[in-house]
Structure 1
Amino acid sequence: MSSADHSSLMLHRYVYLLPLTAVLVWAVNIVVTRYAVDLISPISISFYRWLIALVVLTPFCLPKVIRRWVDVRPHLLRLAVLGFFGMVCYQGLAYTAAHYTTATNMGIINAFIPIFSILLSLVVLQIRTSAMALFGSMISIIGLGYLVTQGNIQQLLHGQHIIGDLLMILAVMLYAGYGVLLQHWKIALPLSIMLYMQICFAVVLHLPFLLYFGLDALNASNLPPVLYAALFPSIVAPLVWMMSIQALGSNKSSVFLNLAPIFTAIIAYIFLKEQWTTYHSIGGILVLVGILLVQKK
């Protein structure tokens, strides 16, 4: 093998680090979310996250927005709706859910986004799907139900974790709705401008909630999780993910998302001492099998 061929092969292998990095960053963020529950309120960490991301991105993105303002202006309402669903509602509910459930549960439920996306696409976009995708969705729903009830339907009647699981399910449903609207509207703007404008609206739309719930001050204990959330899952991971889609394509990249619950469970076990139980295994396997079936053509 020539040196050129060897270099090409190594580069091809390194490309797979892109989706792995993005998924790992998102998995760590779920654990960081659970870690921060006693350090800062959900609405505060959500607001600071997007505010810091906005400050970091403004020097790079604001000039682009100004140059393309004629193209941006017609889409302002839709960008505001996307920012509200994808950044205010999803993140706020996820941070709230972390007060009541485990990072492991959150990771498994978060993997459910493709299933809700398919179900919402059937209703909103009238997109017909395959029998295999519907079968996979049913298996995942059964797995999710097993996880939430911990293998015992009576758990629905008591247990604080159920509140967190249901809040996380609602958050995932809203984020799936965000993806469906994104696909439905097909906003013809560069991704960097779309991301920046959604963050702008997210910061503004947090203000009514801050007036009601108040804003926690930043300190030495809560600043690290806030900075992680603002920089890595908000900026680094989306950028790396877009690079992955460009290099590998959407289908190959999306398969790596199935590793997120596994990464989350391992990290939560190491740093939060969360235990992996039988109902995690059964529910998690059913969810992942269903998602893999959905991803098959």
Structure 2
Amino acid sequence: MGQLSKYQKWAFILPLMAVLIWSLNIAVTRYVADYISPVSISFYRWFVAFLILTPFMLPNVWKQRALIRPYIPKLAVLSAFGMVLYQGLSYTAAHYTTATNMGIVNAFVPVFTIFISYIILKDKPNRFAIFGSFLSFLGLLYVMSQGHFSRLFDQGGHWGDMVMVIAVGFYTFYGVFLKKWQLQLPLMTSLYIQIVFALLYHAPFLLWLGLDSINAENVASVLYAGIFPSLIAPLLWMIAVQAIGPNRTSIVMNLMPVFTAIIATFWLSEHWTIYHTIGGVTILVGIILAQKKTTKTAVALIETSS
């Protein structure tokens, strides 16, 4: 890699801020689980983002409607995977597991990407990627079993972690399809259309399960989720990719479990244990190995993060 300019060095702050925002959102997700249902917080998150973006985006979307129309089915699929299934299951998982565990499982995206990319994109992994994936998977099982593999199959004991694993799996499909299709649309236009679909997808769930009201206990979390991780963090990330490149930017994502654990420790009084350390380090080492071939793919996963 060539030498970085002074501007590029300062630009490293941008992905750090984005990852910090996403990490805090995981803690917010865990905190607000006691005050609002998963489907309600998921709907409000994208509704807030929709209200903010509409005055700026709707005129452009209308002008670009002929360009957008052919991509509607693909945008609908991306929205389902990235904004509804991933986010909805994440909010559900928060009722049954800790923010620390959610952050660790969330870091597993690059490993899932290797195998799904192989199936969909025929992108064959190298030996480092395979070994790194296996190592990360062992680390994930170690964390889920709380340091004792014999506990892994305790009935109901790891429901939240398993739901989070499924959520991350859906998000990985989102990123792989994003790379496969290479939509020729402005990023903010793509994001806005996906948000519209997300709101439509929530309608049957709201009719069936109902919508919790916004009150003093959950309003701050709703506004944070709708503004910072949904709009500001992706914008910071996209600027960073342009300034310092996708490879350098994607490395910062490995800090998410660390940031999440620190926030959860001080805010939610969660305890970082020795099994978190051993499992987390094992996952991180595996991810570093795995990303030798998948860094560019991993960057595509950040258009709508956790």
TM-score bin, normalised by smaller chain:
over 0.9
Match of 2:114 in 1: 118
Match of 2:44 in 1: 48
Match of 1:192 in 2: 188
Partner of residue 245 from structure 1, selected from 224, 228, 241: 241
CA offsets 1:107-166 (integer angstroms, 9 cap, x no match): 000000111111100011111222111111111011111111112233234365500000
Match of 1:173 in 2: 169
Q: Single out whichever of 145-154 and 212-221 deviates more from structure 2.
A: 145-154
Q: What are the ranges of 5 or more consecutive residues in structure 1 without an aligned counterpart? A: 1-7
Q: Is 1:279 matched up with 2:275? A: yes
- CA change 1:59–1:161 in 2 (3 A) is farther
Q: What is the TM-score normalised by the length of structure 1?
A: 0.95
Q: Single out whichever of 120-129 and 167-176 deviates more from structure 2.
A: 120-129
Q: What are the ranges of 5 or more consecutive residues in structure 2 without an aligned counterpart? A: 294-306
- CA change 1:153–1:280 in 2 (3 A) is same
Matches within 5 A, 1:87-236: 87-158=83-154, 160-236=156-232
Partner of residue 19 from structure 1, selected from 15, 22, 26: 15
Q: Secondary structure at the match of 1:281?
A: helix
CA offsets 1:17-70 (integer angstroms, 9 cap, x no match): 001000000000000000001110000000000011001001111111111110
Task: Write the distance in 1 (CA, Å) between the matches of 2:153 and 2:287.
Answer: 28
Q: Is 1:36 matched up with 2:32? A: yes
Which structure is larger by alpha-carbon Rg, 1 or 2? Answer: 1
Task: Write the distance in 1 (CA, Å) between the matches of 2:110 and 2:57.
Answer: 29
The alignment-based identity, stated in percent, is 53
Q: Secondary structure at the match of 1:14?
A: helix
1:10 is displaced (CA, Å) by: 4.6
Task: Write the distance in 1 (CA, Å) between the matches of 2:28 and 2:122.
Answer: 37
Q: Secondary structure at the match of 1:296?
A: helix
Q: What is the TM-score normalised by the length of structure 2?
A: 0.92
User: What is the letter of the counterpart of residue 197 of structure 1?
Assistant: I
